[in-house]
A and B are shown apart, each in its own frame.
Chain A
Amino acid sequence: MADRLEVRKTYKLFIGGAFPRSESGRSYEVTDTKGRFLANAAHASRKDARDAVTAARKAFGGWSGATAYNRGQVLYRVAEVMEGRRAQFVAEVAAAEGVQNRRAEAVVDAAIDRWVWYAGWTDKLAQVLGSANPVAGPFFNFSTPEPTGVVAVLAPQDSALLGLVSVLAPVLVAGNTAVVLSSYARPLPAVTLSEVLATSDVPGGVVNILTGAAAEVGPWLASHLDVNAIDLSGVDDPDLARELEKAAADNVKRVRRPASEDWNADPGMSRLRAWVETKTVWHPIGV
């Protein structure tokens, strides 16, 4: 008697809280490290990237305007839902990264723990990065961190879940909204993360996840005038990274260049600092 015939999946994009197909109608086959078919993923186009930026911009006011406590609650809830999908993540990481189950479990646990770590940062950031400034005059003067805006994230190609979480969560902490392009060859943990986000309390548009090629979608995100910052962590080709950084200069985007990263190391505050602006307010002191 044959095993049950599995239901094969064709995944879609995650834009504005919904799951549309690519406007281009394209999809591509995703395989495990041994070349066995896993699923079909949507192959994002320029139009999809633009739609995602529109959704991210629309969501920015609400997400950045939410209280830090509320953002922390929402992000912690994401970790709770991830925990519930732990087995699925483990299977996907094992298939995507070609590692044994035990190793995949450690990766998934680290990813969930990292999300929890960042969730707890929302209501500490302003105290740690802010200041009251002792100016030489009768003024009250203080500085606070504010989100940069819409951040495009080209997620790591190798570390499909832990790398993804490590670059996405810090973007969200301060109140930025994100357009993420997942690993091209290993998109399934990102797809599952989008299902997690859709079924937790993250407002639609705060995170938009595209699957596709950095060389195709990256230039449209890098040159988009309504994107305020771009993370090039997932760009392995130095020539492409340079071209994207050049394109990003058109509207003075904040750029994080690709670098070799140890996703298991303490992330520190570097990525939290990368996506905030410092606002300084002056007011006279008098009677």
Chain B
Amino acid sequence: MQPTPFEYAPAPESRAVVDIASSYGLYIDGAFVDGTGRRFKTVNPATEEVLAEVAEASGGDVDRAVKAARHAYNRVWSKTSGRDRGKYLFRIARILQERAREFAVLETLDNGKPIKESRDVDIPLAAAHFFYHAGWADKLSYAGFGSDPKPLGVAAQVIPWNFPLLMLAWKIAPALAAGNTVVLKPAETTPLTALLFAEVCEQADLPPGVVNIVTGAGATGQALVEHADVDKVAFTGSTEVGKAIARAVAGTRKRLTLELGGKAANVIFDDAPIDQAVEGIVRGIFFNQGHVCCAGSRLLVQETVADEVVERLKRRLTTLRLGDPMDKNTDIGAINSPEQLERIRTLTGIGEEEGATRWSAPCELPDRGYWFAPTLFTDVSQAHRIARDEIFGPVLSVLTFRTPDEAIAKANNTPYGLSAGVWTEKGSRILRMANAVRAGVVWANTFNHFDPASPFGGYKESGFGREGGRHGLAAYLDVA
């Protein structure tokens, strides 16, 4: 018997806490300025309502932003003590905490993720990243990179739409702590929290030009990473764009770190605590609608428990609540854009064509907005596109294995290597699996946890460099 979800009264978060302007400029040299390029609209993916008009930074705008960052680096930031850099970062962290509700609501409106995730994960973790790195700013000589490690200069940073403010924090906090100035481009579909962050920089009295925000799409990002006066490029996003950026910086002096796609294996052994594993599987692939580069999108289940795990998983997915992201009870929010929805539909269609068996949770999809029901595929082979390509949506491919060696071989049978999960009660098996899996983050008997003290980043085509922890500082110091 399939369980039915409890009936809950709607519990929407109030959007009155945030003022969205009808139009936004670029944040360059400590001021909001009109761009010289076109303007574009950002919409709420849950309702298709236009939230605001945003400037698409032109090449000239990007040049102004880089010049501002260079000027601020030369005149101010490189002469600011580590202690004072740290104090600015502490201020920013505190302001993020104070304005957390405002940021959470804005993030959910612009991105479509459930308010409980933006409220409990994205925004607190973003503040935590600033707190963590604030403390490093005057302790860099103890970080293991020599007695007086130097910053690189001006960092160009391009971030994705899945965790807009959190990815901003992952980029800006270590860059500033290490003594760099930045020009950051948020994703085209989620610019609003980055622009609100610009206000936070003003509130903190951060010197003008230390942080510059240029909004736009691919062309703006390209102009930024190709700018000749940039010393460092940091990118989080698709492997395809990451490769293009690597080609663009070839032969230059620019340092590069890339955090790209993934196709993580989540490996369930027959001795795993099945109830906990099912929760972990859900957290692994349905957190943030599966818009997570380290999502556990390939479930590898030991054959003897495969039927049981899939059955319990389906029961659990039936109880997930999909709908208004602003409702505090919502588990699954909106897909971020029509383009992403189309990609998910295309790949799941290919999954069916190639012979995998599709099952989707029987939930009602709202009439407006971009939605995709939690879906899993069984009878998946390693050759199927849905087992190889990053779908970046709420879609799980289930494969089986018999022996640990087979699990390792299948887990590693991917050009990606960002993350992996392993579920077993046997300690020695956890450690063997953790050693054997070629991935930058391994979650054992848990999944999708993040922390500013914990280095994050990939092997192979999932990119290089780490974000977070002592290791993450290397990306913004002249230590290579």
Contact = CB atoms under 8 A, between A and B. Distances in A.
Contacts of A148: 459
A121 to B, nearest CB: 15
B281 to A, nearest CB: 16
Given A139-B449, A249-B246, A283-B445, A278 B457 contact: yes
How many of chain A's residues touch chain B, expressed as a range?
35 or more
Contacts of A1: none
B95 to A, nearest CB: 20
A277 B471 CA distance: 11
A201 to B, nearest CB: 23
B457 A252 contact: no
A273 interface: yes
A282 B247 CA distance: 34
Contact of A280 (B146, B242, B258, B442): B442
B243 A252 contact: yes
Interface in A246-287: 246, 248-252, 254-255, 268, 270, 273-274, 277-284
A246 B466 CA distance: 22
Given A128-B144, A245-B250, A281 B415 contact: no
B455 A143 contact: yes
B454 A135 contact: yes
Given A250-B243, A282-B441, A133 B251 contact: no
Nearest to B446: A284
B161 interface: no
B456 interface: yes
A135 B461 contact: no
A277 to B, nearest CB: 5
A279 B417 CA distance: 10
Interface string B438-473: 011111111001010111110111111010011100
Given A135-B454, A270-B480, A283-B446, A251 B461 contact: yes
Contact of B440 (A248, A249, A250, A279): A279
A228 interface: yes
Q: Quick one: which of B247, B456, B457 has the most chain A CB within 10 A?
A: B247
B446 to A, nearest CB: 5
Interface in A235-253: 238-239, 241-243, 245-246, 248-252
Interface of A: 128-129, 131, 133-137, 139, 141, 143, 148-149, 228, 238-239, 241-243, 245-246, 248-252, 254-255, 268, 270, 273-274, 277-284
Given A252-B461, A279-B434, A283-B446, 13 more contacts: A128-B144, A133-B451, A135-B454, A137-B451, A143-B454, A245-B247, A249-B244, A251-B461, A252-B239, A273-B474, A278-B466, A280-B455, A282-B449
14 contacts: A133-B451, A135-B453, A135-B454, A143-B469, A143-B471, A245-B246, A249-B243, A250-B243, A252-B239, A252-B462, A274-B480, A278-B440, A280-B440, A280-B442
5 interchain residue pairs of minimum CB distance: A242-B251, A245-B250, A249-B246, A135-B451, A246-B250
